[in-house]
Amino acid sequence: VHTQNHGLEYDGCNFFRQRLVLSTLSGKRVRIKNIRSKEDDPGLRDFEASFIRLLDKVTNGSRIEINQTGTVLFYQPGLLYGGAVEHDCNPQRSIGYYLEALLMLAPFMKTALKATLRGVTNDPIDPTVDLLKTTALPLMKKFGIDGAGFDLKVVKRGMAPGGGGEVLVTCPVRRTIKPVQLRDPGKIKRIRGVAYSVRVSPQMANRIVDSARSVLNQFLPDIYIYTDHMKGANSGKSPGFGLTLVAETLNGCFLSAEMSSTPQGQGDPVLPEDLGRNCAKLLLEEIYRGGCVDSSNQSLALLLMTLGQQDVSKVLLGPLSPYTIEFLRHIRDFFQIMFKIEVQKPLEDERKGGDKVLMTCVGVGYSNINKTLK
């Protein structure tokens, strides 16, 4: 990381969204160079260009410069505007890729965000829209981002690679973010899930449900997995199925796992029974990691802690994912905030999974200057 007149400087295309999101929130300019510069096909990919276009739509006055080969990007953030936005997300990545970043920006807009995103709703790489709906939204509510206007609706489902799905995201605007103390997740009281299928036999979803239940029933009787079979115009362009599982604790924390069928024409097909069983095991793995926030939402929680009012926030996490570790470094670069990181070993006779990490920080007291006073 080098700080120069033109802001922060980074190498490579990895952590692309983190950098642009934190740049937008902090107002610091960023320059990313050597983007795939040594590959046969150098420069930014279509999905990254699509992400930049989305960023341009929700902001006002952003300046984006890309060199001819696409290996260097300069970004000077504008003001977060929000409002009604429509965007066709490039199907190389699923909507989850774009939405993860959009959710980080949404509470800090000038006007409440109402975004219609079209593209791939479910693929095996990124968090699906179903997962974000059931984990990211409840997490954000804990930080005081709530109200009737906070919703994520899957209007049409579109599996990879064809896509053709559509989601509607609405998020209210907040002036400040509430500090939180999430130190004890509490015990898991129930498991919910969605088994979805499009353009295949609706029986697929039932087969997924049965096999997932067979694993999870060893722990808990309160399991309900909804089956969701969208038809006709709402079923997108590609066939596929998948499962999202969420364990809910007594203290309102959510741990999740998911699996999608391999996209048509890419690799070996999966049996719904295997998918259900493996997804249930992934949920057990996530429970083993534990904490108050599940692994895919760690960075969202850490961001909201950073931007909170000037007070102490504490959140218990499972082991930090490599993505989160890089996010922490970026938070230090953009906001000069370093977290206190304490490892909590489980007691000897405790059967609550592996090591946990308690993250503590004092928020920067970020206030949304974009929000209009009424």
Partner 1 sequence: EEDSDEESGEESEGKDDEAAEKNMSNIYISSISFGFFFSGIYIFTLSTGALCWKEGLQQKASEAFLRQQQAAPNLRKMVYGSDDSEEEEEEELGGLFRVSRPQKSKKTQANALDCSHFKADLSHNWDLEEMLNSIRDCFVTGKWEEGQDAA
For binding to partner 1 (CB under 8 A), which residues are involved?
1, 11-17, 34-36, 38-39, 97, 100, 125-127, 187-189, 215, 218-221, 250, 281-282, 284-285, 287-290, 295-296, 299, 320-323, 325, 328-329, 332, 338-343, 345, 350-353, 357
Sign of CA pseudo-dihedral 228, 231, 233, 237: positive
Tell me how far, at minimum, the Cβ of 234 lies from partner 1, in Å: 27
Tell me how far, at minimum, the Cβ of 338 lies from partner 1, in Å: 6
Radius of gyration of the chain (CA): 21
Phi, psi of 296 (to 5 degrees): -80, -15
Six-digit token string for 168 = 């509607």
Size of the chain in residues = 374
Tell me how far, at minimum, the Cβ of 187 lies from partner 1, in Å: 5
CB nearer partner 1, residue 233 or residue 347 = 347
Phi, psi of 233 (to 5 degrees): -65, -20
CB nearer partner 1, residue 61 or residue 354 = 354
Tell me how far, at minimum, the Cβ of 207 lies from partner 1, in Å: 20
Residue 110: strand, helix, or coil? coil
Cis peptide before 269 (omega within 30 of 0): no
Tell me how far, at minimum, the Cβ of 132 lies from partner 1, in Å: 11
Complete DSSP assignment for 317-341: ESSPPHHHHHHHHHHHHHH----EE
CB nearer partner 1, residue 175 or residue 281 = 281
CB nearer partner 1, residue 235 or residue 298 = 298
Tell me how far, at minimum, the Cβ of 175 lies from partner 1, in Å: 27
Tell me if 6 sits within 8 A of 65, measured CB to CB.
no
CB nearer partner 1, residue 46 or residue 86 = 46
Whole-angstrom Cα distance, residue 73 to residue 264? 33
Six-digit token string for 25 = 């929130």
CB nearer partner 1, residue 112 or residue 245 = 245
**DSSP label of 261:** P
